[in-house]
């Protein structure tokens, strides 16, 4: 796909377009980091990794993942110079590997982003319900709280993307502030002294590295989303790559540093036991007695808003994949319609919101009277869908690395060896290993003791979505050759 052909729209939907040139590098960085939700990662992701892996080497996992994803970002960022498309994975793979793999990747991406976004409603509903009960003594069902969050996300989704970016910027900055405060308090407490113990090899080179990488990958979910906004970015040839590099660096270093500080604050010898006892509440239990109650409550509120930020970020990503597929007429063209004033992918956004609403209601009905009680959504909806999505993202990244490798090596003299071959090859190998590690650890990741079949069903659904995409591409080639040829022509490198 050339720089010019990438943004060409089929005649059938030529009157549709996303809002142009509304996002600069800072806005892109906030949109990317919002999906990773800094406070959610520390309070939820890091503590879960400490608890389940039973190792204090969690910070090292974040650093190693940062290296692998940094290698991926080298080729991925350069591709944004040549290809600007709201369906980034689809466009990159179609350009590098061909039309059928591109359409298959689009279906895989749709399933991945929708699963991640919808699954987060489970933890949002539970957290909001618990927070309201703790602050006001009022008990509200988790699904009612989830529906309130759903309504806000749906409204933001059909408005201008720069509105979402501004809202997310405020939330993300406040999240960083809370995490920094937690880290400083941790280092000032340090019952066993400030030490490098969590980083020592015996705490991660002991058979637990696979689990650390598998669980740590969730912290980076959404780092790749800058390219999804390339059609709405200012100077996308440079801004998308810069935003991606900045986001990967911040995520890797900040999460490694904050999880190390938390381990120091509780004591490296105690962090695992404490995480196993308190889970996501550990951060707030740590803050009690060290900060005024009002500030602890404020941190808990920001934990909820950080989850909201992730919901908005993944909603935007899923809506833009629907838009891109509708514009290419791979899916119904109505999905390509955008708001006259907002430039937002209105129909794609509404479809994503409809899916979210449906799953919230399904899990609300399924959880009625469950022996899991209020924990039902965080032990089912959240881990089932988000861990399946994490597996899907790793597959997407691995396939895209191969596509980048092939795309740049068609014209090798135009690209440095490291960019065209070394970085994407190492990234593909590393991501392939992580995909295998996730499969080996999937039973633990979703706690499948009550539903062992889910270990095979959930990854099967993710892989199956890509297979359906390949079959649909073949159908278009045979039955709707004008659509297939249009996609092919638009993605000729």
Query: What does pLDDT average to over the chain?
Result: 89
Reference 60, options 264, 253, 272, 262; nearest CA is 253
Give the pLDDT band (50/70/90) at residue 405: very high
Res 5 pLDDT > 80: no
Among the listed ranges 10-14, 306-310, 445-449, which one has the minimum average pLDDT value? 10-14
d(CA 383, CA 396): 20
Which is higher by pLDDT, 140 or 160?
A: 140
Give the pLDDT band (50/70/90) at residue 256: very high
Give me the pLDDT at residue 397, please: 95
Give me the pLDDT at residue 286, please: 93
Q: Tokens representing 468?
A: 């359906």
Within 8 A by CB and 6+ apart from 142, the residues are 122, 125, 126, 128, 129, 364, 367, 374, 376, 377
Range with the largest mean pLDDT of 81-90, 227-236, 365-374: 365-374
Give the pLDDT band (50/70/90) at residue 19: low
Among the listed ranges 97-101, 277-281, 414-418, 436-440, which one has the minimum average pLDDT value? 277-281
Give me the pLDDT at residue 225, please: 79
Give me the pLDDT at residue 388, please: 93
Give me the pLDDT at residue 38, please: 86
Res 470 pLDDT > 50: yes
Among the listed ranges 226-230, 242-246, 364-368, which one has the minimum average pLDDT value? 226-230
Give the pLDDT band (50/70/90) at residue 181: very high
Give me the pLDDT at residue 21, please: 61
Give me the pLDDT at residue 7, please: 41
Domain residue extents for the chain: 5-9+22-490
Give me the pLDDT at residue 1, please: 39
Give the pLDDT band (50/70/90) at residue 473: very high
Give me the pLDDT at residue 168, please: 78
pLDDT in tens, 258-309: 999 999 999 999 999 999 998 888 999 999 989 999 999 999 999 999 899 8
pLDDT in tens, 309-348: 889 989 998 999 999 899 999 999 999 998 878 788 999 9
- What is the mean predicted confidence (pLDDT) over 379-389? 92
Give the pLDDT band (50/70/90) at residue 359: very high
pLDDT in tens, 200-226: 999 998 777 888 888 888 888 878 877
Res 440 pLDDT > 80: yes
Give me the pLDDT at residue 172, please: 83
d(CA 84, CA 74): 16
Res 10 pLDDT > 60: no
The number of beta carbons lying within 10 Å of the beta carbon of residue 27 is: 23
Upper half-sphere CA count for residue 17 (Cβ side, 13 Å): 13
The number of beta carbons lying within 10 Å of the beta carbon of residue 293 is: 10
The residues facing 23 across adjacent strands are: 233
The residues facing 233 across adjacent strands are: 23
- What is the mean predicted confidence (pLDDT) over 101-119? 95
Give the pLDDT band (50/70/90) at residue 17: low
The architecture in CATH of the region 5-9+22-490 reads: Up-down Bundle (1.20)
Which is higher by pLDDT, 199 or 447?
A: 199
Give me the pLDDT at residue 11, please: 39
d(CA 281, CA 54): 17
- What is the mean predicted confidence (pLDDT) over 479-486? 93
pLDDT in tens, 25-79: 888 888 788 777 788 889 888 998 898 888 999 999 999 999 999 999 999 989 9
Taking the model in full, what pTM does it have? 0.89
Q: Cα-flanking dihedrals φ and ψ of residue 367, to 5°?
A: -90, -5
């Amino acid at each position: 796909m050339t720089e010019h052909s990438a943004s060409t729209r089929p005649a059938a939907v030529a009157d549709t377009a996303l809002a142009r040139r509304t996002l600069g590098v800072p806005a892109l960085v906030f949109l990317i980091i919002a999906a990773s939700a800094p406070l959610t990662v520390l309070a939820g992701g890091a503590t879960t990794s400490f608890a389940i892996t039973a190792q204090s080497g969690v910070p090292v996992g974040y650093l190693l993942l940062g290296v692998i994803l940094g290698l991926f970002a080298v080729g991925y960022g350069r591709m944004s110079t040549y290809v600007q498309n709201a369906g980034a994975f689809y466009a990159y793979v179609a350009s590098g590997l061909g039309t059928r793999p591109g359409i298959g990747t689009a279906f895989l991406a749709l399933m991945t982003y929708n699963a991640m976004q919808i699954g987060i409603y489970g933890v949002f509903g539970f957290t909001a319900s618990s927070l309201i009960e703790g602050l006001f003594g009022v008990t509200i069902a988790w699904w009612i709280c989830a529906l309130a969050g759903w309504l806000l996300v749906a409204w933001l989704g059909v408005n201008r993307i720069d509105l979402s970016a501004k809202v997310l910027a405020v939330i993300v900055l406040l999240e960083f502030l809370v995490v920094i405060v937690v880290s400083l308090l941790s280092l000032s407490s340090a019952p066993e002294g400030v030490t490098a113990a969590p980083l020592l090899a015996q705490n991660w080179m002991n058979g637990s590295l696979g689990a650390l990488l598998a669980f740590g990958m969730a912290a980076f979910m959404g780092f790749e989303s800058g390219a999804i906004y390339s059609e709405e970015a200012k100077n996308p040839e440079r801004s998308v790559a810069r935003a991606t590099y900045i986001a990967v660096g911040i995520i890797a270093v900040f999460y490694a540093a904050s999880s190390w500080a938390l381990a120091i604050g509780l004591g490296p010898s105690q962090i695992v036991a404490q995480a196993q006892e308190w889970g996501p509440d550990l951060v707030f239990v740590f803050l009690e007695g060290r900060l005024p109650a009002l500030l602890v409550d404020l941190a808990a509120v920001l934990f909820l808003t950080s989850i909201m930020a992730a919901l908005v970020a993944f909603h935007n990503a899923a809506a833009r994949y629907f838009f891109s597929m509708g514009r290419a007429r791979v899916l119904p063209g109505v999905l390509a319609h955008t708001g006259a004033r907002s430039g937002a992918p209105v129909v794609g956004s509404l479809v994503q919101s409809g899916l979210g609403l449906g799953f919230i209601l399904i899990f609300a009905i399924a959880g009625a009277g469950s022996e899991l009680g209020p924990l039902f959504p965080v032990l089912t909806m959240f881990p089932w869908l988000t861990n399946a999505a994490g597996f899907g993202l790793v597959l997407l990244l691995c396939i895209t690395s191969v596509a980048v490798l092939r795309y740049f090596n068609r014209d090798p003299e135009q690209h440095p060896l490291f960019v065209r071959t070394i970085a994407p090859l190492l990234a593909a190998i590393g991501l392939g290993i992580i995909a295998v590690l996730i499969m080996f650890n999937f039973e633990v990741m979703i706690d499948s003791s009550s539903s062992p079949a889910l270990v095979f069903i959930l990854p099967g659904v993710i892989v199956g979505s890509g297979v359906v995409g390949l079959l649909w591409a073949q159908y278009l080639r045979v039955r709707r050759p004008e659509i297939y040829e249009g996609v092919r022509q638009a993605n000729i490198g």
